[in-house]
Amino acid sequence: MVKKDINKKLERLKAEKNELERINKEIDGRVLELYMLYNVSKILNLSLNIEEIFNGIINIIGKTIHIDEFCIMLLDEATQKLVVRAWYPNSGTLPDMSFDIGEGISGTVAKTGNAMLIQDTRKEPNFMFYKGVKMDIGAFMSIPLTGKKGDVLGVFNIHKKEPFSFTENDRKFFQEVANQIAIAVENAIIYDRAREASMHDELTGLYNRRYFFEYIEKELARANRYKKSFSILMIDIDSFKNFNDKNGHLKGDKVLKETAKLFVSNLRASDVVVRFGGEEFICLIPETPKEIAVTTAEKLRRAVEENIYKGGENQPGGKVTITIGVATWPDDAQSAIELIDYADKAMYLGKCKGKNIVFPLVK
């Protein structure tokens, strides 16, 4: 009888020991998850650059959590497609793939805003293998990246090669990771939009002088490194005060917008045109010597002269015209400020010669 009681107690103690081990293991796993979430949050809050955010996610999640693959797809505003922006394991180039909203699991999650867990992809008719990627089977989880207002920014997809390998704790953990990613992505998007807006002229939609000063320094460094020349055109609408006085400022604004469109349509995609202030514009033309820059400037001058502006008949000569000063690096200056001043001086001298002219100042 005593032996029987002892055996029962031993069995009970063994069961309690096993339960304690299970609880400790569960606690250890949860502590690790909390530590991971803390690190994810810390890394995501270090930058507003979306590429740096994705690199941080790949480094901490991909290298410390046992998953075979994961990817982050964001909604492209222009195409309204889900596009891969981060991938683990990353061989250096991202897979060239996209999904329509509602297409496959990722598209469905983006459309509904609800996460999906598939324990065996072979049994899910809506599962679509990534185009161009090997057809691995296994367990798959897709979680929406949701903004503060409930809008879906993209999806966070996790793949394990072993079917039925996702636990309920996994689901909760990756949902928390997705929440952190969504916050960081939305903050980066807001920052990018604000920065982009700060670099554009509200009236014409062109870049503004703040952008230009950043851009010309980069172009100067690039031209210096590769021993290339580049030119700038300083452009001023002739007698613009007269136009505003005769026609009103609203029509003057229309002239500025129309002229900006003319410049864009008559320049190369690699050329940069900026509203420099008031009725002044400036163009930077990469890898262009002075003689070709003068030809480009003359093309712009003719485009404006030949355009029919409402109110243009009230201008001297009966039409809207422009005067352009041309300067080239390194022929005319050794710094960005010197080059801008040189082009401005050339434009001023062109005004003195009667306006409606392209004037390349020669040293």
Q: Which two tokens stand for residue 177?
A: 């990771």
Which of 150, 166, 272, 292 has its CA nearest to residue 216? 272
Residue 253 token pair: 């604004």
The HSE-up count of residue 143 (CA atoms within 13 Å, CB side) is 21
- Measured between its terminal Cα atoms, the distance across the chain in Å is 116
Q: Are 108 and 125 in contact (CB under 8 A)?
A: no
**Catalytically annotated residue among 16, 279, 291, 313:** 279
C-alpha 347/C-alpha 349 separation (Å) is 5
137: amino acid identity, one letter: I
Amino acid at 219: E
Count of beta carbons in the 10 Å neighbourhood of residue 233: 30
Edge-to-edge order in the sheet of strand 81-88: 98-100, 81-88, 69-76, 152-160, 139-146, 116-118
Contact between 327 and 230 under an 8 Å Cβ cutoff? The reply is no
- Whether 51 is a known active-site residue: answer no
Torsion of CA 30, 36, 40, 43, to 10 degrees: 150
Residues in the chain: 363
Tokens of 256: 């500025």
Q: 160: helix, coil or strand?
A: strand
195 vs 207: CA distance, rounded Å:
12
Spatial CA neighbour of 56 closest among 33, 88, 82: 88
- Enzyme catalytic residues: 279
